[in-house]
Structure 1
């Protein structure tokens, strides 16, 4: 499973992050001047991407469960590759706006889809490492984009096209090629995976059910699963957690080259100096993913990571020293990137039911991505070179993430305590006769068997225990 599933998903996400962030590299090679757009218009173009990207995510995850992932994810990738390719031929501001909108729409379902897809294959104690492994492709994209942009910019003038246009064209062509291959590489869910034998398929499904993933082995779509997510308090606290790292994530990935260039470095040097920052964040992300799976204390890890981010951005706000500010970029990257897979695994492992989990993840990730529309506008040209206004907004986001994580932990602990005291017990197999304590338990549901209660209630079942 690790060989057949995770590496290719990592490649898809690398291309996704590489393509959406390429505009930041292209900006350093004359995009604004060639299109005759202002810095404000450039920021609006970044913002347009996030609205379709965020709003289409919940729908995409439901469709992913009903349509084969091999078809849905590959088709999505092919479309955004075409849109990416078209960026290389854009000639004006309106064309750039349209392309950014369609790029957001085409990429919308990839990230929540991959997270949901992985959660359908692995136990809760295994999610952190796998999600961290595929998510490191985002940090690799950050490092690789700088190197790639510096290399492709040397094609300036080839076929009469500018260096920045070749960045979009070549990256778009490679994405299209990988999308075509994906139709055959991506497997679907365990119950239909062709690379598993019959015995292996049973083994995978049984281990998931033993890990309180009761929907393993297939789950028929019912509207109530969507409503279970919408009525669950965890969904909305999770949205606050995702807000806390997604806002900073997009601000960091889109503007790291610009921030470094404003510290006195030329375009190519700025792109190259961003590489070590992403390499470091890649190492930390994998380590935190492994640590989360080993310790199971994802909430505490979340608080520690957000605290590191607070320190990093306080330094960025207060510093006027380029070297110190560059060091603070490492602290920021150490906080932002590892938090993403850690928080995703934490929320996913505490949500049972494949459709419910898909909707919850999509809503949380979608809300987080909407905040990318805000954070993509906070690094204004007039605030150069120290960008204290933008750093202050990102600092506020991280504080929201820290508070939301603390609330999530406390509420999960309280709910586990209620279940230990029997306050969430259902009535099992007592027919129509309700006496004594069963009258109180009836409000939690009456079921013929424990299996029926587990299947119907998911993580709301009295025997389910949340992980802190």
Structure 2
């Protein structure tokens, strides 16, 4: 966690108006709404282990791979889609994602998470079912674009978690959240295997059509659950959260949010958007996440096809892909736990990149099919945890609502654009996808380098802040709010 000195604000942002519930909470505290912003709960005297356990227990109780499974199940043959066109279809998904990702993150407070996520899931499911009835390449491309648009609105969930969890809790919770994606991908493989075995042409539908129908219906059902059961941000309790959480738990959740630099009156500040773009660590993190998405997009869209090249039938390729995603599920939980426990992101990120690199080298250089399959397991086990590590590292070193939202939105959008390159690198099935594998090896080396450079830069910035912490400029800067200064605040220290 970033080392933060005690901060006593002397400036309150104008127009600080909260909902009626939060007004009563703040009146009870008899303190400015953003008091102790950026101060740990223990340092501020607000730490309550009993409330902490109760709140976290309740909070903790609270996909894309279908196209890859459908390809192996016969979609490309039935619709006369070439390898190049299939790569373009996967890219259209990412284009839709790029268009709507900034909206889904920057405006999450205005759109309200329960409604934003549930609506996106509902649209996602309906459009996915529609793909089952597409007749040609153009229709599949257009529908995949719309799927990307709707899924982009769901990815604000990473940002949403920062409203409820502190820095030393977010990695594990984000890992659990994202592991559901890996688990869903594993179930996708099982569903696809079962469909190919038992529903190859049942009810007038081919196996690949049943994949989209079944996987589209599930999120439609869950969307209603999310709409009614998911809590909003702590300062804006919903009908359900008022009944789930006690009043003192909601009060404590607001204090925890302040400790994670979430101002009660946070809003989009246009100037902060441009400031974020001038930060070297923003661009180094963007490189890291681009490396991650270059690899994950190829895994999500081509894994069953890669496994099929090892000599398995299409049905067994679906089944064996479950094992790879199960490896990712396990490592996501383990790495998330270690990142929180050790408060390490950069070192774990480099380890995960190296594990993924070894996996791709095995896929590229070894002829033994069993060793190649082990390489595929290493790829999924290594690359999936890098998603949460880069996301959490970004939220720890770029603080303030606008800077954090801007960074998450743009890093994700840029990375998705790079992910298109990952799809295109695997567009040629000839020669065992060697071009795509080699491209992943090269870009993973870039990820290791960018991570190391970012650590060096952030350490240098910390030394600068240490040297200037008692200067007149630093004392003058302390008169401004944390939300205005973000990570430029003289008392903030970058964590790795």
Superposed, 1:409-448 pairs within 5 Å as 409-422=455-468, 438=472, 441=473, 446=476
Which residue of structure 1 lines up, in the alignment, with residue 36 of structure 2?
Answer: none
Q: How far 1:69 sits from its partner (Å)?
A: 0.8
Residue 148 of structure 1 is matched in structure 2 by 191
Please name the residue that 1:246 is paired with.
Answer: 293
> How many residues align structurally?
436
Give the aligned partner of residue 12 of structure 1.
none
Residue aligning to 1:400: 446
Q: 2:263 & 2:200 partners in 1: Cα distance? A: 52
What's the CA shift for 1:445?
A: 8.1
Match of 2:252 in 1: 203
Give me the CA root mean square deviation.
1.9
Describe how 1:4-15 pairs up with structure 2 within 5 A.
Answer: 4-6=58-60, 8=62
Q: Does 1:460 align with 2:484?
A: no
Q: Deviations over 1:188-213 (max 9, x none)?
A: 1011233333322222222333x3x3
Alignment match, 1:433: none
Distance 1:2-1:167 versus aligned 2 partners, 3 A rule: farther
Runs of 5+ consecutive residues of structure 1 not aligned to the other structure:
9-16, 426-436
Q: In 2, Cα distance between the equivalents of 1:24 and 1:44?
A: 13
The alpha-carbon deviation at position 294 of structure 1 amounts to 0.9
Partner of 2:354: 307
Asked whether the 8 Å contact 1:205–1:216 carries over to 2, the reply is: no
Are 2:417 and 1:387 aligned?
Answer: no
Distance 1:455 1:108 in 2: 26
Query: Is 1:122 aligned to 2:165, yes or no?
Result: yes
Partner of 1:82: 126
Aligned residue for 1:108, secondary structure, equals helix
Q: Is the 8 A contact 2:268 2:402 kept in 1?
A: yes
1:399 deviates by: 1.4
CA distance in 1, matches of 2:427, 2:252: 54
In 2 relative to 1, CA 110–356 (structure 1 residues): closer, same or farther, beyond 3 Å? same
**Post-superposition offset of 1:136:** 0.8
* Corresponding residue SS for 1:91: coil
Structure-1-length-normalised TM-score: 0.89
Equivalents in 1 of 2:481, 2:264: separation in Å?
17
Of residues 281, 295, 303, the one that matches 2:342 is: 295
Q: Give how far 1:236 is off.
A: 1.3
Matches within 5 A, 1:27-426: 27-111=71-155, 113-153=156-196, 154-193=198-237, 194=242, 195-209=244-258, 211=259, 213-384=260-431, 386-422=432-468
Q: 2:190 touches 2:319 (CA, 8 Å); kept in 1?
A: yes
CA deviation string 1:404-457 (max 9, x = no partner): 1111111111111111112x66xxxxxxxxxxx53xx2xx6835xx46342320
Tell me the alpha carbon deviations over residues 70-99 of structure 1, each in whole angstroms, 9 at most, x when there is no partner. Answer: 111111111111110101111111111111
1:214 and 1:228 mapped to 2: Cα distance?
18
Q: For residue 5 of structure 1, report the CA deviation from its aligned partner.
A: 4.4
TM-score (ref. length: structure 2): 0.84
Structure 1 residues 3 and 255, CA gap change in structure 2 (3 angstroms): farther
Deviation at 1:51, TM superposition (A): 1.1
Instruction: String of CA shifts for 1:102-125, please: whole Å, max 9, x gaps.
Output: 1111111222x0110001211111
- For residue 247 of structure 1, report the CA deviation from its aligned partner: 0.8
**Cα distance between partner residues in 1 of 2:311 and 2:149:** 36
In structure 2, the residue corresponding to 1:333 is in which secondary structure? helix
Partners of 2:231 and 2:221 in 1: how far apart? 18
Q: Which segments of 5 or more consecutive residues in structure 2 lack a partner in the other structure?
A: 1-54
Q: Quick check: 1:116–1:358 contact (8 Å CA) kept in 2?
A: yes
In the TM superposition, residue 377 of structure 1 has moved relative to its aligned partner by 2.0
Measure, in 2, the Cα distance between the counterparts of 1:223 and 1:306.
34
